[in-house]
Amino acid sequence: MTMPLDRRQFLLGSAATAGALAIPGCAGLEPRSETAAARSLYDSIFEGMLRTSPETATSLGLDTGERAYLKRRLSDASPAGKMGVYQPVLDHLPSLRQIDRNRLQGRERAWLDTVLWLGERMSEAATFGYGGIGGYSYPVPYVLSQLTGAYQSVPDFLDSQHGIETREDAEAYIARLEDFARNVHFDVERARADAGRGVVPPTYILDKALTQTRNLRGERGAESGLVRSLARRTAEHNIAGDWSRQAEAIVDGRLAGALDRQIALLTELRRGAGADPAASRLPDGERFYAMCLRYHTSTGLTPDEAHEIGLRQVAELQAEADPLLRREGLTQGSVGARLTELGRQERWLYPNTDPGRQQLIADLNRHMEAIRARMPEFFNTIPTGGMVIRRVPPAIEAGAPRGYAQGGSLDGSRPGTFYINLVDTRIWPRWALPTLNHHESVPGHLWQGATVLGNGGIPLLHRNIGVPAFGEGWGLYAEQLADEIGTYADFPQGRIGMLQSFLYRAARIVLDTGLHMRGWSRERAIAYFTEQVGLDPISATSEVERYIVWPGQACSYKIGHNEIIRLREDARMRLGDRFDLKAFHDIVLLGGDMPLEVLATVVEDWVRERLG
């Protein structure tokens, strides 16, 4: 899973912005040209995003110089901050609409189309009186869940991304702790207001959020992870000061009080919550889900059309996996049941111990580096940014996704990171791990992110926004590419892992549309996952509960993959000997994320140009 911009507002004038950001490739443009006008708007939007989401500025290493004050702040979680990182896009939408796209050329036109598309989606999202922009900058219905809310994201951010090398950095950490307590308070107030509108998560979502909130609240004094992170790093850099005492005062004071209020609210909401997972049960819920599906797939598919695509591809992939499972001696039962059996065989499992987890991480890193060494055979553009694989922090792994990628900093000081959830190593049989690695690291999300982030010719805005179907579609495309280049030639069980991955993503379309529009219960969805895909119950439950709080997101993967493959094979057929895979990869990646509808026009222009 990708993790694009986290969250936006004071907008600089165009001249100030252009000077502050100084994007390579803009030199020589006529000051009043349409291209220059569009680029100036992109710069203003991006600067606004940094101011609205100081976490983004820190993540990219841009909280320095004139923006150093951003390192002392967190995003605004109040009702005014509901639209999160995308508010500057909304603010600039009228000006973006005035740009004459017919006067733009090539990628400049695609960049405008992308921002306009995103602005239109956010305009619709803003019309709902509940939810907002939540985890991973997706439109979500619930302010508080196992995946959304300051309590869920801030502790890891402060530990893994807020660097501490100077006294000023430590002071900024303390200031952010204060903001953290403030944002938990705002989350509680917004969630309470949404409950008054009839927007309450199901009981099992509230249970998981309660468990995680209580776990965080249970960390007190010097033993709190928030305090230990600051104490450890100030000691490592010999930064004098009573930092632990300052942090403890906040953690055991304002933050503890805010978390107590969050626990009280979640407990209160649970008493009246039901079990219905559907977004369609919410106020104007059918329109809300349609908006989410449109945003996540960047297509015009209806829920019924998407559901049928998922069912058809589940059947096709099961038929392809069947003979491979038979070769493993697994001949009885459904494909899902046989995948479950293969996943439980001890020969494929790592010990569910800390040494076992360390070995799993080490093996993944070695595999990533081996695949990365082969990439010049298939790509013209070779990113140089660092890439690493780490464990999801244990404090949040119970509610976190199975795996996700986090982009590196612009200056390369912090590598792109693939986080794998190791709450139980038995959910990761060895035959499934290479495909996961290809999706999240190389040639998947980390590769894609490093390619884009390191390209100075792409506007900073377009290097840092995410379009789910594009990013997740590329992740699945990367899995298929790894198979096509012979990764599984000597490891046929690994190809079973790839087919299960595709089957799992096709089933997601069925489940997401089933849960939100067809009356499926959580239990029915979990059973479908285990029976049809062979996903273990722990993972199936975690995944289904994720789809419930992020409507539409689960559909982005396979629908995005389908479209990228369709565009590639159409181009290959039309171009024949003139088709160049490396050039195709450039045309897809070097514009940054874009809606699938925009990508189709970009590839069509490329094909026509090569045809002459």
Evaluate whether 422 touches 395 at the Cβ level (below 8 Å).
no
For 143-201, the three-class secondary structure string (H helix, E strand, C coil) is: CCCCCCCHHHHHHHHHHHCCCCCCHHHHHHHHHHHHHHHHHHHHHHHHHHHHHHCCCCC
pLDDT in the model for residue 104: 95
Query: pLDDT confidence of 402, banded at 50, 70, 90?
Result: confident
Distance CA 468, CA 89 (A): 17
pLDDT-derived band of residue 41, with 50, 70 and 90 as boundaries? very high
Whether the per-residue pLDDT at 13 is higher than 70: the answer is no
Task: State how far the Cα of 118 lies from the Cα of 84, in Å rounded to an integer.
Answer: 14
E strand segments, 450-523: none
Tell me the three state secondary structure of residue 589. Answer: helix
- The per-residue pLDDT for 519 is 97
Task: Give per-residue pLDDT as tens, 292-327.
Answer: 999 999 999 999 999 999 999 999 999 999 999 999
How far lies 42's CA from each of 29, 105, 459, 462, 594, in Å?
Answer: 15, 16, 7, 8, 14
| β-bridge mates for residue 417, sequence order | 388, 406
**More confident: 30 or 545:** 545
- Summarised one tens digit per residue, pLDDT across range 412-447 is 788 999 999 999 999 999 999 999 999 999 999 999
Cα 390 to chain centroid, rounded: 16
Between the two ends of the chain, the Cα-to-Cα distance in Å is 38
- Considering the entire predicted model, what is its pTM? 0.90
- Residues 260, 151: Cα–Cα separation, whole Å: 12
Q: Give pLDDT tens digits for 237-263.
A: 999 999 999 999 999 999 999 999 999
- Pull the structure tokens for residue 471: 């990013």
Q: What is the pLDDT of residue 25?
A: 37
% of the chain surpassing 70 pLDDT: 95
Query: Of 183, 282, 306, which Cα lies nearest the Cα of 563?
Result: 306
Strand partners, 139: 133
43 close to 460: Cβ distance less than 8 angstroms: yes
Q: Which residues pair with 406 in a beta bridge?
A: 417
Which has the closest alpha carbon to 416: 368, 353, 476? 368
Neighbours of 388 (CB within 10 A): 17
**pLDDT, mean of residues 523-535:** 94
Arithmetic mean of pLDDT, 70-79? 97
CA distance 104 to 96: 13
Query: What pLDDT does residue 388 have?
Result: 95
| CA-wise closest residue to 458 among 585, 591, 588 | 591
Burial of 354 from C-beta contacts in 10 A (0-12 / 13-18 / 19+): exposed
CB-based contact 508:555 (threshold 8 Å): yes
